[in-house]
């Protein structure tokens, strides 16, 4: 038996006491899917589509029935998520080309910046789509500013979307695998001489474009935008889910001994839908269903990695989607033809690009093993609220401009969510307050015929009582003049009086 000096025993006891009084701050992971609708998970009513890993999160955490993305399109929602600010306050927060400059001011506070101040290591893996550089990017040098300049210690991303050039990964600002003797060039102004396009060379396409996606071809898929060179750096679409997953797992393992924040932004089920061969045919719904099965598997693999590394009990996981669903979003891929009885929008009206509920009401789950009591919550919450709520969690005094402190709601200790929320779709805005939804009058078509989604445009005010009419079929604006006036007054107080009757922007 070895006897330790009294001084060492006292020091050891002191360290144990300090550890108990100052437990390690929880790891935080945001898992963010792309174009996953309210009805695209079993936990949210899907019966034809199997999502056991997402369902497991929902069954073991808080499943929000009234959880919102900030926008019905991707870039604005991602901006709001990271900044805690309504996207309509930033005129550049709209769907961006792959060559767009960074739209988050590097001086602006963000979730990763706030967490870094509290001792966190911060990482992003997956889709970025918030712009890079200052507007004239040389992809053959370090691309800056980008994620690393707005708070992320580590980044492994695609610049924009899977259907946009450049079709390469960037790691901490550098294009991965790029060779100096084959420089990468990207343009959204015009094609490079001699480069084939989907419009001019359909015989080179393994996936045919339906609308908008007819420029440079890579991996047999025509894209939005033009690209030349950089052959050694081009991604393989079917490997993308695996590539992002491996980087996310590596990040977790590397940072397991310190508090970390991981923003894991999956690309599924955004177009082009390119499931790995392991998942082809897994859903019976064609590529869209298959990539949702693939995304669910990725969620399960992340959970497995956390468990294997002893991190599950000290990790808060937030799962959500950037906007509502869309079927045909630019390619012929049987998303419509093989849908069957599945309803990606659930019982809601609209979808991606829409001011109706299906545009922004999305799957929203918080999970923390042993810390969150499993429950279903009808509290209204927004991804905007993650900024201030996470700041509460880690003891930061920082708050997002439009972000509410709802930590108790996310932790299943309260059901008192937001009273009101402005939602956005292609620069149009609407109001959610209590049980009610107000859509101001907007010019433009009632439906986007290309994607077959109702946009919410009308020459009249629209007022819906969602507690009685979740599908938004009965406009009560005429029957409820007092409620209409109240909603308009609230809308003007937050949004200002400059709204409504604007021309619908072109959807791409």
Q: Which pTM was predicted?
A: 0.94
Which of these, 240, 198, 236, 192, lies nearest to 215 by C-alpha position? 198
227: how many CB neighbours lie within 10 A of its CB?
25
pLDDT (tens digit, 9 = 90+) per residue, 365-405? 999 999 999 999 999 999 999 999 999 999 999 999 999 99
Q: Quick one: how far is CA 147 from the chain centroid?
A: 15
Over range 456-466, report the average pLDDT.
97
Can you tell me whether residue 252 is helix, strand or coil? helix
- Does residue 231 have a pLDDT over 90? yes
- Model confidence at 7, in pLDDT bands (50, 70, 90)? low
DSSP string, 12-31: HHHHHHHHHHSPPPPEEEEE
DSSP-assigned beta bridge partners for residue 430: 423
Output the CA angle 221-223-226, nearest 5 degrees: 125
Q: Report how far Cα 26 is from the mean position of its chain's Cα atoms.
A: 22
**Kind of pairing, strands 315-321 and 260-265?**
unpaired
Mean pLDDT of 419-441: 97
- pLDDT digit string (tens) for 329-344? 999 999 999 999 999 9
Selection from 199, 301, 295, 189 nearest residue 248 by Cα: 301
pLDDT tier, 17 (very low <50, low <70, confident <90, very high otherwise): very low
Using the structure block, give the residue that is written with the tokens 């990763």: 112
Give the three-state DSSP class for 33. Answer: strand
Domains, the chain = 21-184+229-419 (3.40.720.10), 421-495 (3.30.1120.10)
- pLDDT at site 405: 98
Residues with catalytic roles? 74, 129
Using one digit for the tens of pLDDT, what is the confidence trace for 73-109?
A: 999 999 999 999 999 999 999 999 999 999 999 999 9
Given a contact cutoff of 8 angstroms between Cβ atoms, the answer to whether 422 and 429 are in contact is yes
Name the percent of the chain in helix, strand, coil, to the closest 5.
Answer: 25, 20, 55
């Amino acid at each position: 038996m070895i006897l330790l000096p009294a001084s060492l025993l006292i020091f050891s006891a002191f360290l144990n006491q300090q550890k108990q009084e100052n437990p390690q701050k929880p790891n935080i992971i945001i898992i963010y899917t792309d174009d996953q609708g309210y009805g695209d998970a079993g936990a949210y009513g899907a019966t034809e589509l199997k999502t056991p890993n997402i369902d497991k999160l929902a069954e073991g955490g808080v499943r929000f029935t009234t959880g919102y993305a900030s926008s019905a399109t991707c870039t604005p929602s991602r901006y709001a998520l990271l900044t805690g600010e309504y996207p309509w306050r930033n005129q550049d927060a709209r769907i961006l080309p792959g060559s767009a400059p960074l739209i988050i001011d590097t001086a602006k506070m963000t979730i990763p910046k706030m967490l870094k101040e509290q001792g966190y290591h911060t990482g992003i893996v997956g889709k970025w789509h918030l712009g890079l550089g200052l507007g004239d990017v040389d992809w053959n040098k370090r691309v800056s500013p980008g994620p690393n300049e707005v708070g992320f210690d580590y980044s492994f991303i695609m610049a924009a979307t899977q259907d946009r050039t450049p079709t390469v990964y960037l790691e901490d600002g550098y294009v991965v695998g790029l060779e100096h003797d084959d420089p990468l060039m990207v343009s959204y102004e015009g094609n490079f001489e001699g480069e084939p396009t989907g419009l001019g060379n359909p015989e080179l396409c393994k996936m045919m474009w339906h609308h908008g996606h007819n420029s440079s071809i890579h991996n047999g898929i025509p894209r939005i935008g033009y690209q030349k060179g950089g052959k050694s750096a081009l991604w393989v679409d079917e490997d993308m889910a695996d590539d992002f997953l491996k980087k996310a797992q590596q990040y977790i393992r590397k940072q397991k001994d310190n508090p970390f924040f991981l923003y894991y932004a999956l690309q599924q089920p955004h177009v082009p839908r390119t499931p790995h061969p392991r998942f082809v045919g897994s859903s019976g719904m064609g590529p869209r269903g298959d990539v949702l099965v693939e995304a669910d598997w990725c969620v399960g693999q992340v959970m497995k990695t956390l468990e294997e590394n002893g991190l599950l009990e000290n990790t808060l996981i937030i799962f959500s989607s950037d906007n509502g669903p869309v079927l045909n979003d630019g390619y012929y891929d049987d998303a419509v033809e093989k849908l069957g009885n599945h309803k990606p929008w659930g019982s809601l009206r609209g979808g991606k690009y829409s001011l109706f509920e299906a545009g922004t009401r999305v799957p929203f789950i918080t999970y923390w093993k042993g810390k969150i009591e499993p429950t279903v919550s009808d509290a209204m919450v927004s991804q905007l609220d993650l900024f201030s709520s996470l700041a509460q969690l880690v003891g930061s005094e920082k708050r997002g401009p439009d972000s509410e402190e709802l930590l108790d709601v996310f932790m299943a200790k309260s059901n008192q969510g937001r009273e009101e929320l402005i939602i956005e779709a292609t620069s149009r805005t609407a109001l959610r307050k209590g049980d009610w939804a107000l859509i101001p009058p907007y010019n433009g078509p009632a439906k986007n015929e290309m994607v077959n989604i109702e946009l919410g445009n009308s020459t009249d005010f629209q007022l819906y009582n969602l507690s009685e009419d979740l599908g938004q079929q009965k406009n009560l604006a005429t029957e409820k003049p007092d409620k209409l006036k109240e909603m308009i007054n609230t809308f003007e107080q937050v949004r200002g009086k400059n709204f409504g009757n604007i021309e619908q922007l072109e959807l791409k």
